[in-house]
Amino acid sequence: MVNSLKDHLGRHVVVVTGMGVVTSLGQGQQDNWRDLTAAKSGIRHISRFSTEGLRTTIAGCIDFLNVDPYSAPALSIAMAESAASEAIEQANIGSKGDFPGPLFLATPPTELEWPQRRELYAEESDTTFEGYDRLLSACRANKHEEMQRLFQFASVGEHLADKYGTKGLPISLSTACASGGTAIQLGVEAIRRGDTDTALCVGTDGTVNLEALVRFSLLSALSTRNNPPEAAMASFSNDRDGFVMAEGAACLVLETYEKAKARGAEILGVLMGCGEHADDFHRTRTSPDGMPMIKTIQKALVDAGVESSDIGYVNAHGTSTPENDKMEYFSLKQAFGDVMETTPISSNKSMIGHTLSAAGAVEAVFSLMTMRNSMIPPTINYNTPDPDMGKIDVVPNKAREADVSAVISNSFGFGGQNVSVVYGREPK
Amino acid sequence: MKRNDAMSKENADVWITGIGLLSSLGEGTNTHWAAMSGTAGSTVTPVLDEENYAPYPVHPLVEVDYATQIQKRGDLRQMEPWQRIGTYTAGLALADAGLAGDFEALDRMDMIVAAGSGERDAAMDQKVLESTSGESANKGHSNEILKSELRPTLFLAQLSNLLAGNISIVHKVTGSSRTYMGEELAGLASIENAYNRISSGQSDLMLIGGANNAERKDSLLIFEMGQNLWGEEFKSIWERAEAGGGLVQGSVGAFLVLESADYARARGAKAYAKLSGISSDRCRRDDGQAKDSLDSQFDKLSATMEKGDLGILSGASGTKQATAEELAFIQGLGNKGFTPIARAYGSMMGHSFEAQMPVGLALAAISLSKGEYLEPLDGSGVEASADKAPEQIMVTSVGHWRGEGLALLTSLDSKEAK
């Protein structure tokens, strides 16, 4: 038993003792798992703002937390709190407002939004000032400290650090759509170094606003299959045409196996290893030979000390863009070999949409629940096989019972960001 | 989180082997040294633009020929100024460390960029504001304007992690790539993480740094919302703090190559200095908390330090409370047996948020390798002149809003030093 506290490289085994999640399917592990395994979609027509004249009019918005007025950081904070409170309660660790470790937070870059710009613009009545000069003049006249704090890049992290009493500097990070995976990776590295024996890893993203939607649309990244919204995300299917923006948050409480066992905590799963390799090919596209993704997957397997044949399920990045799904499966086949053709791979995003900065964290929770419940959530809207992919088992359209003891979860992002994380069960 | 040599003697030494600097003062280590050590003239004088952003002075970027580091025009077109500044400066640091074009090393190099994000299109924002405000407001109209005026390239130029992305594309740094956010504390945390990863053996070669473009009203606006800007005739950091406080932004790029001493020796690289320890923490900034945090961090970091002269390169922003508490901490060092020789480099280069602490480390490393202190950078009397060679310099980071930290750099044996 003593040996099981250290991994194949003599490092602390890192385990998960608490999880929390919010997606467009609902709040909490239970509701999410129920809908995810019932092949339900959380994608709807957007009601938060007018989509008149826009090519994409659907998203996975979180409107049930009643954040009013909406702003991306305010919603990101509310969702992160929901997920973190659920995870900390499940882990039953520390005491209220006193979490015994650091915070690693995947959060979207903040930016002042149109309602705030308009508010400042309206405050200054001197029309000799134009544009930003008028906004600056309004700020010279009246301090807007709360507004500034909300839109600092440290805002979400500071808020969480205050609420949960995490230790040290709260780390806010962005690796675009790989951010959730990076937050977990940073937690694992800190624990392996011995900096801490506990970490709170959070991913959150509440950025479905007009400008963000238009921006992704201009990059031709979004699905335009608006009707019905539930059918838009078609990961790995030949008719896929882009992703659907979505909001969500998730949280993992990480601990050394040693500490978790000593305090009698329930072990929800093991963080076996992480892999990362950056792509230098293009800002939004993957190297045509897939090498950075292949290296990322290979590094994760090596770090975890497992073979590809040990992986019982691939929790795909699976964004439903023509490029991602093709390159992801191609890279997996290169890294895994023939065994990939019979390894189940599914995209949670087919139901919850692409939760962007939160995706790697949200999908970590679902990867762990897959093992715990011996049930693989499906890839919905899988209608037509992509002939370029060859043999693939996407767990089409219906959840499947399966005894899975190790999962690899991929997260890839603009800017050449690639992270893969391997999750396993508690060692017997 | 606190680690230092005293706590972990078995850990790898962390060396600074490459520096890239770009600012209003010019580019490169020697230019900055000349401008701030008095060797360029009898007095040190900051470079300012006091007209274009009035009433706010800013330190404008020197004219740069980006093509020397970013050869493809297509790459340059995809970047807004902050990314150009950062990508260019990262290239300077890699070249300085002798790693530019060493693709094998770059493919295993780990990168952390401390970043805010990019520019707004001010003209487009003005158009939206004018057409959707006031009595003739038509809010639905903003959909049309945004659809027709937003450029896909601008989005990519705004994303925080796309500075790192551009560095991967242009300079081929691909071992790993992470972007920390959070104003000053992002710079501090990224250096601390690099130190921890190298000293623990998780990495042996890292690129860290950040960039700030001061010459943009949308960025000035974020900080003026809390009335953090200095909007009067320019004064230096300590003088400003006394006169009500305020920060003056500077356009800056600062990148560092950090590596384990063993890795550097094996490839025959010389170093500027050793990063001997680093510490960080946060508080809610109630009165006195920032000073208390600095005091207690200093006591832990200084446990193994020789008492006597201690260089302080202060990253103070000039905002009132943060700067006053940092000054009280510095002036209290005498009671701990240290004689502080302090320089607030923001007086010369302006404040650069995420890049501020990397700038401080760069200047400290240059100063240790030259064997001289910088000249006093203001006339407040806080900054005493000094003739002796510095052996240890502490860099401070007190965020204008959040995050406090200290980094200790020490000089290297002449055989190993640049």
Domain coordinates in residue numbering, chain B: 2-117+159-410
What pLDDT is recorded for position B3?
45
pLDDT tens, A10-66?
Answer: 999 999 999 999 999 999 999 999 999 999 999 999 999 999 999 999 999 999 999
Residue A392: is its pLDDT beyond 90? yes
**What percent of chain A has a predicted confidence (pLDDT) above 70?**
99
List the single best residue of B176, B321, B352 to mutate versus A (max A Cβ within 10 A). B176
Give A-chain residues touching B220 at CB under 8 angstroms.
132, 136
The more confident residue out of A382 and B132 is: A382
CA distance A422 to A301: 7
| Nearest CB to B221; choose among A136, A157, A190 | A136
CB nearest to A173's CB, from B123, B126, B181: B181
CA distance B351 to B68: 26
Which residues of chain A are within 8 Å of residue B202 when distances are taken between CB atoms?
Answer: 189, 192-193
Per-residue confidence band for B147, with pLDDT thresholds at 50, 70 and 90: confident
Query: If you average pLDDT over residues B377-387, what whole number do you get?
Result: 90
Query: Is the distance from CB of A422 to CB of A273 less than 8 angstroms?
Result: yes
A417 close contact with B: CB closer than 8 A:
yes
- Checking if the pLDDT of B36 tops 50, the result is yes
Taking the mean position of all CA atoms in its chain, how far away is CA A108?
Answer: 11
Q: Please give the C-alpha separations between residue B382 and each of A68, A82, B101, B314, in angstroms, as whole numbers.
A: 48, 48, 44, 12
What is the rounded distance in angstroms from the CA atom of residue B248 to the CA atom of residue A318? 45
| Residues of A in Cβ contact (< 8 Å) with B246 | none
B156 vs A215: CA distance, rounded Å: 9
Residue of B nearest to A413 (CA): B161
Question: Using CB atoms and an 8 Å cut-off, which of residues 89-118 of chain A contact chain B?
Answer: 102, 107, 109, 111-112, 114, 117-118
The pair phi, psi for residue B14, each rounded to 5°, is -110, 120
Residues 6+ apart with CB under 8 A from A208: A46, A48, A59, A60, A61, A245, A246, A247
Strand partners, B410: B274, B392
* Mean pLDDT over the full length of chain A: 97
Mode of pairing for the β-strands spanning B176-181 and A171-173: antiparallel
Query: In this model, does residue B171 exceed pLDDT 70?
Result: yes
DSSP code at position B250: B
pLDDT tier for residue A2 given thresholds of 50, 70 and 90: very low
Angle, CA of A120, A124 and A125, to the nearest 5°: 140
Q: Does residue B306 register a pLDDT over 50?
A: yes
DSSP code per residue over A149-203: HHTSTTHHHHHHHHHH---SS-EEE-BTBTHHHHHHHHHHHHHHHTS-SEEEEEE
pLDDT at residue B43 tops 70: no
The least confident of B208-212, B320-324, B378-382 is: B378-382
Alpha helices, DSSP H, located in B114-248: 122-132, 141-149, 152-158, 162-171, 184-199, 217-224, 237-242
Residue B127 C-beta-side C-alpha neighbours within 13 Å: 15
Q: Which residues contact A378 (CB under 8 A, 6 or more apart)?
A: A37, A39, A346, A350, A394, A395, A396, A397, A398, A399, A400
Residue A174: list chain B partners with CB under 8 A.
Answer: 115, 159-161, 179, 181
DSSP class of residue B11 equals S
Would you please indicate which residues of A are annotated as catalytic (active-site) residues?
Answer: 177, 317, 354
| pLDDT for B237 beyond 70 | yes
At B4 the pLDDT is 41
B281 contact residues in A (CB cutoff 8 A): 168-169
The owner of tokens 């974020």 is B222
Average pLDDT of the residues in A225-232: 98
Instruction: Return all residues near A320 (Cβ < 8 A) that are at least 6 apart.
Output: A223, A232, A233, A234, A235, A236, A237, A240, A241, A242, A243, A244, A347, A349, A350, A354
How far apart (Å, rounded) are the C-alpha atoms in residues A357 and A183? 10
pLDDT score of B360 more than 80: yes
The percent of residues above 90 in pLDDT, for chain B, comes to 83
Question: Taking CA atoms, what residue in B is nearest to A419?
Answer: B176
Q: Which of A140, A152, A162 sits opposite B401 (nearest CB)?
A: A152
Residue of A nearest to B231 (CA): A140
Choice among A233-247, A250-264, B38-52 with the minimum mean pLDDT? B38-52
Interfacial A residues in 214-233 facing B (CB < 8 Å): 214-216, 218-219
Burial of B101 (0-12, 13-18, 19+ CB in 10 A): exposed
pLDDT at B290: 98
Whose structure tokens read 């703090």? B241
The pLDDT assigned to B188 comes to: 98
Residue B8: predicted pLDDT: 42
Q: Is A189 on the interface with B (CB under 8 A)?
A: yes
Q: Which residue of A has its CA nearest to B198?
A: A193
The one-letter code for the residue type at A145 is E
Binned at pLDDT 50, 70 and 90, residue A280 comes out as: very high
The DSSP bridge partners found for residue B375 are none
Q: What's the pTM?
A: 0.97
User: What tens digit of pLDDT does each residue of B70-87 get?
Assistant: 999 999 999 999 999 999
The answer, yes or no, to whether residue A379 has pLDDT greater than 50, is yes
Q: What's the pLDDT at B379?
A: 86
Give residue B10's pLDDT band: very low, low, confident or very high (50, 70, 90): low
Residue A107: is its pLDDT beyond 50?
yes
Q: Helix H segments across A270-396?
A: 291-304, 322-336, 349-352, 359-373
| Residue pair B360/B345 in contact by the 8 Å Cβ criterion | yes
Beta bridge partners of B278: B3, B407
How far does Cα B178 stand from its chain's mean position? 17
Q: Distance between CA A250 and CA A83 in Å, rounded? A: 5
ipTM of the complex: 0.97
Chain B residue with CA closest to A177: the answer is B161
pLDDT for B230 equals 98
Q: Which domains does chain A have, with CATH numbers?
A: 3-113+151-424 (3.40.47.10), 114-150 (no CATH)
Is there a contact between B133 and A122 if contact means CB atoms under 8 Å apart?
Answer: yes
Q: Is domain B2-117+159-410 given the CATH code 3.40.47.10 in the classification?
A: yes
pLDDT at B137 over 50: yes
- Side-chain half-sphere CA neighbours of A402 within 13 A: 23
Enumerate residues 6+ apart whose C-beta is below 8 A from B355: B114, B187, B209, B210, B211, B212, B252, B253, B254
Which amino acid belongs to residue B350?
Answer: G
Report the distance separating Cα B267 and Cα A75, nearest Å. 49
